[in-house]
Amino acid sequence: MNIQERRKERIDRGIKVRTEGIYAVSSWQEVTYLVLPRLILIAGLLLLPFLMPSLYWNKVITIVGIYVLLALGFDFLAHFVGLVSLGGAFFIGVGGYTAAILNKSLGLPLVATIPMATLGGAVISTLLLLPALPLRGVYFAIVTLMYPLALSRIIEALNILGGTDGILGVASFPNRWVEQYLILLIVIFALFGLRRLVNEDIGLIFRGVKDNDQAVRASGLSITLYKAIAVFIASAIGCLGGAYLSHIYNWAGISQFALDFSVIPIAATVIGGGGTLVGPLLGCFILVPLSEFLRAYGTLRIVIYAVFLVVFIMLRSEGIMVYAQRKYHQFERWVKV
Amino acid sequence: MSEEDILQVINVCKAFGGVQALLNVSFSVQKGEVFGIIGPNGSGKTTLINCITGFIKMNSGKVLYKGKEISKKPPNQIANLGLTRTFQIMRPYYSLPAYKNLIIPLFSPRARRTGGWRGGGKLGDRGTVSIDILEEIGFERDSFVPYKLASSLPTGYLKRLELARCLALRPDLILCDEVFSGLSMSEIASMVPLIEKLQMDGITLVMIEHRLRELFRVASRVMVLNFGQKLTEGIPEVVMQDERVKEAYLGSEKLLDYTFEA
């Protein structure tokens, strides 16, 4: 029998004091150690439109940005509140239609419709999901999956809101630079905003709801209220993406309720590493362009895409960012047992 | 009802399907006392606490807290009135450090009324206040313990964390569900003065316990439950002489000897 004589020892780098989140920063090296990854991410995102200057890839970057918003919302709900939501398509559809209606019927300009659709769509989504909030796990997921399917069929059957044609002639962005940089800035803002939120006091309550909801009730806090607040935040981010999508395509239609918007963010979260918030962003920047590259292979595209996902999940199931953060924050060395 | 009664439980019944977990249980607790609830396994003690704090809806009966009915209220509203509970199976937030566990109760409307939006009012922010509460309950302030993840803490500290969560709400009444169970003798020995200190601070305590000797050191009155029904109630020495109580506890002779050897 082969006896394992060595094992890998992992030691945290000495920069942390006592607990996660408290640092003793005393030199520029340590400041760099903390700031550099964030700076690389922000600079990388902002340089992307210059690195990919073609019109086609500009559009892809914008679409990726929308998927990132959905993935951030999914990761926030699933890993910090304990609600598994398949409602990406629901949020996109509600936000998209709200923006299109505000723009076409009331003639409001783009700067007004996007914020209004964000908040209005979030209110509508939260109200519709309110009855499902006592549910947990897969049951909540099924209700959120039901809404986009039902709403698209209702629009089709009753022929309201433009029916199968959708709402045409929604105002477009002034130029492609505004279009790209606005979504990239929104993505950066949403990412760092959510990261800060989950470590604030109210974020701790969200994490408490995920860990142990009965203890939260015993602490005198209503879990339904805090779940509703969390769903409002996630659906606001999703509806913002939907409103953006309507203004990019100058159109809102029932294909905005397509399940791509529910499923790709989840795949991106799995690939990028759930619970990190940065992971889903990276996951989207890998998955969506990959599917564009594979267009050359015609119908084989989905096969190759699926094989990539399966292989990735077999070999690195923890996700890219969980792996990368471990490598970055810990020394590893072999020690004799 | 006398002026002194902080909690009155009147004819509480609860059945789970065909199992009558509680049948016409009534008792009252006076302000400032330590009231014990004892009984064999499965006699309905934890169900009683769950009914009082709203975690389980009772079939019939009433619960009055400070003279007002609370039987229809959800658990979070009851906790905000100052009626808090610990869980027999500890329910910490395993993914959070011990002191951040307390930030959640400190965020409740009741704690915010005294502490303000930032947490502790004059005392600092919520983090500072929670370290103070943890020190009071027996976490060493200058050690690493309060900063450790709850998942890495031993049972003794988790039991204390349960009590600390109640204290963060600045309660008037704490229902303790077996705070001594699963602890070593030395850990229990350090918990008893803590309970006495809480009583001196003016907090009323209702304690479910199997460790009778320790319970009788602090409790002024006890109630005995068996098969969901109240057998008797009174001062510990008298209650334990009751024939029905001896019957309820199998091998009661031995148990009584053990109880009063101290």
**What does the pLDDT look like over A159-183, one tens digit per residue?**
888 778 888 888 888 888 898 999 9
Return the pLDDT at B113.
82
The rounded mean pLDDT for chain A is 88
Interface test with B, best of A16, A19, A133, A219 (most B CBs within 10 A): A219
Higher pLDDT, residue A162 or A222: A222
- Kindly report each contact of residues A45-48 with a partner whose C-beta sits within 8 Å and lies 24 or more positions away, as own/partner: A45/A184, A45/A187, A45/A188, A46/A181, A46/A184, A48/A180, A48/A184
Please answer yes or no on whether A218 and B75 come within 8 Å at the CB atom: yes
Laid out side by side, the sheet with B204-208 consists of B83-85, B173-177, B204-208, B34-38, B221-226, B229-234
Q: Is the pLDDT of residue B109 over 50?
A: yes
* pLDDT computed for residue A6 by the predictor: 80
> Three-state SS for A203?
helix
Answer whether residue A222 is part of any domain: yes
Domain extent, residue A331, equals 6-336
Q: B214-236 pLDDT, tens per residue?
A: 888 889 999 999 888 898 899 98
Cα–Cα distance, A92 to A84 (Å, whole number):
17
Residue A315 included in any domain: yes
pTM of the model: 0.89
Q: Give the model's pLDDT for residue A294.
A: 87
The minimal CB distance from A211 to the residues B76, B93, B97 is found for B93
Which residues of A are less than 8 Å from B77 in CB distance? 220
CB of A204 less than 8 A from some CB of B: yes
Q: Which has the higher per-residue pLDDT, A17 or A57?
A: A57
* In-domain check, residue A1: no
pLDDT of residue B262: 42
Name every chain B residue with its beta carbon within 8 A of the beta carbon of A208: 93, 96, 104
* Residue A297 included in any domain: yes
For residue B81, the chain A residue with the least C-alpha distance is A220
Q: How many residues does chain B have?
A: 262
Q: Give the mean model confidence (pLDDT) for residues B196-206.
A: 91
Asked if A29 reaches chain B (Cβ–Cβ under 8 Å), the answer is no
Q: Under an 8 A CB cutoff, do B55 and A223 touch?
A: no
Residue type, A312: F
In the predicted structure, residue A230 carries a pLDDT above the cut 60: yes
Please say if the pLDDT value at position A16 is more than 80. no
Mean pLDDT for B64-79 is 91
Q: What is the mean pLDDT of residues B18-30?
A: 91
Higher pLDDT, B124 or B140: B140
How much is the pLDDT for B252?
Answer: 47
Q: Chain B closest CA to A79's CA: distance in Å?
A: 11
- What the block records as the tokens of B205 is 């305590």
ipTM for this prediction: 0.86
- What pLDDT is recorded for position A65? 95
* CATH code at position A226: 1.10.3470
Size of interface A-B (CB pairs under 8 A): 89
* Residue A220 domain-assigned (yes or no): yes
Query: The sheet that has B68-69: what strands, in order across it?
Result: B19-30, B5-16, B60-65, B68-69
Residues B44 and A60: their CA atoms lie apart, in Å, by 62
When divided into structural domains, chain A yields a total of: 1
Tell me which residue in B87, B92, B169 faces A220 most closely, judged by beta carbons.
B169
Q: How many angstroms separate the CA of residue B258 from the nearest CA in chain A?
A: 35
- Domains of chain B with CATH codes: 5-88+172-260 (3.40.50.300), 93-152 (no CATH)
Give A286-320 pLDDT, tens digit per residue. 999 988 888 888 888 888 888 888 888 888 888 88
The residues facing A179 across adjacent strands are none
Cβ-based contacts of B104 with chain A (< 8 Å): 204-205, 208, 215-216, 219, 221
Weakest-pLDDT range from A163-177, A235-249, B92-106: A163-177
Q: Which of B91, B108, B111 sits opposite A212 (nearest CB)?
A: B91
Helix axes A176-197, A278-293, angle to 10 degrees: 150
Contacts of A202 in chain B (CB under 8 A): 107
What pLDDT is attached to residue B140?
Answer: 85
* Confidence category of residue A3, pLDDT binned at 50, 70, 90: low
Where helices occur in A7-54 by DSSP H, the ranges are 28-51
